[in-house]
Structure 1
């Protein structure tokens, strides 16, 4: 099997595994079902993944990784000439836009449901999701405190407070109430802007 064919086979298996694990969870998915859905032989599946556990771990890692890449591309450290209100508004809007999707909510539910069996997946989702966002915002607040635009204080604590001010409500509603509770883009932007104004009232040194 050439490297190109091997890569394509792996992608087919991961795609089939993602769909089936999201629909039926870990216990409800079999390697036979993945084999059929991927349109490859069972020998090919086991050549890539030695067990269902290995496939599940790879599928979730792949899904988390793609979301992390999108986050890194969208939410960056501010340039020196970006005003604090503009950066916070962009941070809030982009985080909501990335997180408030059916796919990412499905990942969260799947990982939480399998927490006792695969605690490392929850840790990975936390590390590459909320923790990465908060770390990036912490770095930004350090810069804004140094420039005098933001009041002094623990930047990591402030970053966590703003992150959850923005993400807490919408995430909880979508996790518990399903896709119907996902806010529209207009609702996301309004919520992000309101949270930004609340946070600025607490930390900004100027109007």
Structure 2
């Protein structure tokens, strides 16, 4: 019971921190304001988080983990796929929708805006976000190359190509235009086109067809 109350307080602090960081920026947010928004004492906040930096890092971790959860099951199917384009497309659609969640876009802007003053925050975000995705995709493409479904001389480079073919247009626009809106249909079209471009470059079958 006590453990449940502790977990609820911790979650309330993280939720309040998200609101404060997004509204006031990293510098403008204070532990006092977080405590007030979470309806806990300042001492309780410091009991869970040693400083503002560790609280912000926890927030990044929690929000990115939540985004990953929504696409994990689709991702697990990719290395063992029996229908590469179908499974890769299903993943790409879910992945793009996940990355384009408004709270994650706002956090991305916040981190980039503070990167020069707080490079360690930017490094933590990069490691938990893009770099984590690159490692996952690299592992997939190594397996798929071994299975003869892809031809990748450099699976890491292929992973980066896949990531940005799927994300680049809507993500870049969202970063520059805070009020830009994308329908699910728009995102699906972008994801589908990204997968087709990726397979045109890396599919073993399509490369073989060119030499027939």
Residue 188 (structure 1) aligned with residue 187 (structure 2): yes
Contact 1:84 1:144 in 2 (8 A): no
1 CA distance for matches of 2:93 and 2:147? 24
2 CA distance for matches of 1:124 and 1:10? 20
The structural deviation recorded for 1:159 is 1.8
Change (3 A) 1:118 1:71: farther
Deviations 1:102-152 (A, max 9, x none): 011011111112223432322222222222222222222223322322235
Q: Specify the alignment match of 1:7 in structure 2.
A: 7
Q: Specify the alignment match of 1:112 in structure 2.
A: 112
1 CA distance for matches of 2:78 and 2:35? 46
Q: Specify the alignment match of 2:196 in structure 1.
A: 197
2 CA distance for matches of 1:47 and 1:60? 19
2 CA distance for matches of 1:129 and 1:155? 18
Residue 153 (structure 1) aligned with residue 164 (structure 2): no
2 CA distance for matches of 1:36 and 1:203? 53
The structural deviation recorded for 1:24 is 0.6
Q: TM-score normalised to the size of structure 1?
A: 0.86
Change (3 A) 1:6 1:150: closer
Q: Secondary structure at the match of 2:205?
A: coil
Consecutive unaligned residues in structure 2, runs of 5 or more: 207-212
Q: Secondary structure at the match of 1:153?
A: coil
2 CA distance for matches of 1:154 and 1:162? 12
Q: TM-score normalised to the size of structure 2?
A: 0.84
The structural deviation recorded for 1:74 is 4.1
Q: Which has the higher contact order (CA 8 A, sep 6+)?
A: 1
The structural deviation recorded for 1:25 is 0.8
Which deviates further from its counterpart, 97-106 or 57-66? 57-66
Q: CA RMSD in A?
A: 2.3
Which deviates further from its counterpart, 150-159 or 15-24? 150-159
State the aligned residue count: 206
